[in-house]
Amino acid sequence: MSLNNRKLKVGVVGLTVGASHVKDYANSDTVKEIVLCDVDELRLKEIGDKYNISKKYTDFNKMLKEENLDAISLAVPNFLHMRLSIRAMEAGVHVLCEKPMARNAAEGRQMLEAAQKHNKKLMINFNQRFQHECQTLKSVIDESKLGDIYYVRTQWQRRRGVPWWYPLASGKEQCGGGAIIDLGVHVLDRAMWFCGHPDPEWVLANTFCKVSKDEAARRGIQNFELEDMGVAMFRMTNGLMLELEASWASNRENEVITTRIYGSKGGAVLQTVVGDSKSTGNKVFLEIDGEVHDIPLEHIRISKMPNIRQAFLDAIVNDEEVPCTPQQGLKITQMLDMVYLSAENNTPVKFE
Ligand SMILES: NC(=O)c1ccc[n+]([C@@H]2O[C@H](COP(=O)([O-])OP(=O)(O)OC[C@H]3O[C@@H](n4cnc5c(N)ncnc54)[C@H](O)[C@@H]3O)[C@@H](O)[C@H]2O)c1
């Protein structure tokens, strides 16, 4: 049945970062009704009151059974991504799943297969792609202004910022990993999107937990095993080199989210210094008449600035491919698996 011209009934599951999904759905003309789900009743009440939403569930399965939902946003801890998204798709519901897609590629593959089997949209919430500077740079790249991209360095480095409210004591079992899967996934995704999702061939990587162990012990987490920093160098089958760095805690002056791109005709840098807008800078570097010019990205206009949640809803209504596909999510998850394998085995890893 075509959903054209029909407004959607959408559930939001997990209401911490999920609250931002609720906000976007509440502002969307495509949504006729929002249903909330969280095991935390206080959270349910708080968000329900804020957006005047009466349908609230503490039981995901009950919500699926009782509400005839068109779609859900899934913003629950990582170990639940596969289980709940597959259950929703089996029940005929489209899914926008928070990053990372899953704890590992085996889970990601099952999610992709479920989406294909049940003919449901599965989108991964790679929200950095929808930031203004990322959209602008992507439009510059799509116009071939940077030429052949051959080296990308992408990083999210925090001075101190371990998400202690995550179930960190359970280690990889619930989180899938540390800074690499939590923060690295964002900057890896945007880097891969900028350079057209090339296939990885090799990775050499290592992960560390050098800074946070004492703080973890103070918080009652003994044998803290998740990496507070990870570093990886990928070689892609097309020769492109991609360097990834992510940390929850490191000994440096600030927190930065940076992607630097080197192309044959031009280059670019996106640099956000968290909490210091004066040091933030997004530019492209283009050679014009033999001279390299710095062009601030804010001087380049883009025609349309999409919203990630609206993009998901539009893909459902228009029966189009979602912008952040499960295939892209799976490739990213496979790359993260390679990073952890390389670190564990002390060896370069070839992509199979
Ligand atoms: N895109 C982003 O920028 C971004 C930012 C932060 C977190 N995230 C991702 O979002 C997800 C959630 O992160 P968070 O920081 O909001 O975590 P969180 O632990 O603060 O919140 C998760 C919420 O899910 C609820 N929950 C847990 N199990 C549930 C269940 N079975 N059914 C219903 N609700 C349940 C919890 O009560 C909690 O309110 C993670 O996968 C994380 O990686 C994405």
DSSP string computed for 112-172: HHHHHHTT--EEEE-GGGGSHHHHHHHHHHHTTTT-SEEEEEEEEE-SB---TTS-GGGTH
Question: Among 23, 25, 27, 20, which residue's Cα sits nearest to residue 9?
Answer: 25
Ligand 1 atom closest to the Cα of residue 127 is 1
Distances (CA, A) of 81 to 76, 97, 183, 229, 272: 7, 7, 17, 23, 29
Q: Whose CA is nearest to atom 40 of ligand 1?
A: 77
Q: What is the pLDDT of residue 2?
A: 47
Residues lining ligand 1, Cβ inside 6 A: 13-17, 37-40, 43, 60, 75-78, 80, 98-99, 125, 127, 165, 182
Residues of the chain with CATH 3.40.50.720: 8-125+307-324
Tokens of 308: 């990630």
Distance of CA 127 to the CA centre of its chain: 6
> For residues 44 and 330, is the Cβ–Cβ distance under 8 A?
no
Topology adopted by domain 8-125+307-324 = Rossmann fold (3.40.50)
Give the helix ranges, DSSP H, for the chain: 18-26, 41-51, 60-66, 81-90, 105-117, 132-142, 172-175, 179, 185-194, 213-218, 308-317, 326-345
Q: How far is the CA of 235 from the centre of ligand 1 (A)?
A: 33
CA dihedral 96, 71, 304, 182 (to 10 degrees): -10
Strand partners, 160: 249
Distance of CA 38 to the CA centre of its chain: 21
Q: How far is the CA of 78 from the centre of ligand 1 (A)?
A: 8
Work out whether the CA dihedral 28, 34, 37, 40 comes out positive or negative: positive
Ligand 1 atom closest to the Cα of residue 14 is 24
Q: How far is the CA of 148 from the centre of ligand 1 (A)?
A: 38
Ligand 1 atom closest to the Cα of residue 84 is 31
> For residues 273 and 256, is the Cβ–Cβ distance under 8 A?
yes
Residues of the chain with CATH 3.30.360.10: 129-305
Q: Name the burial class of residue 42, with classes exposed (0-12), middle (13-18) and buried (19+) by CB atoms within 10 angstroms of its CB.
A: exposed
Q: Whose CA is nearest to atom 10 of ligand 1?
A: 75
Strand partners, 242: 152, 234
Q: What is the pLDDT of residue 5?
A: 56
Indicate the residue type of 141.
I
Indicate the residue type of 9.
K
Q: Whose CA is nearest to atom 4 of ligand 1?
A: 17
Strand partners, 322: none
Q: How far is the CA of 116 from the centre of ligand 1 (A)?
A: 25
Q: How far is the CA of 217 from the centre of ligand 1 (A)?
A: 24
How far apart, in whole angstroms, are the C-alpha atoms of residue 288 and residue 97? 43
Q: What is the pLDDT of residue 12?
A: 99
Contacts of 235 (CB under 8 A, 6+ apart): 200, 201, 202, 203, 241
Q: How far is the CA of 74 from the centre of ligand 1 (A)?
A: 8
Q: Name the burial class of residue 258, with classes exposed (0-12), middle (13-18) and buried (19+) by CB atoms within 10 angstroms of its CB.
A: middle
C-alpha triplet 344, 348, 352: angle, nearest 5°: 95
CATH number of 129-305: 3.30.360.10
Q: How far is the CA of 292 from the centre of ligand 1 (A)?
A: 44
Q: Which residues of the chain have pLDDT under 70?
A: 1-6
Strand partners, 33: 9
Tokens of 94: 């489209």
Note the residue count of the chain: 352
Question: Among 230, 145, 150, which residue's Cα sits nearest to residue 191?
Answer: 150
Q: Whose CA is nearest to atom 6 of ligand 1?
A: 17
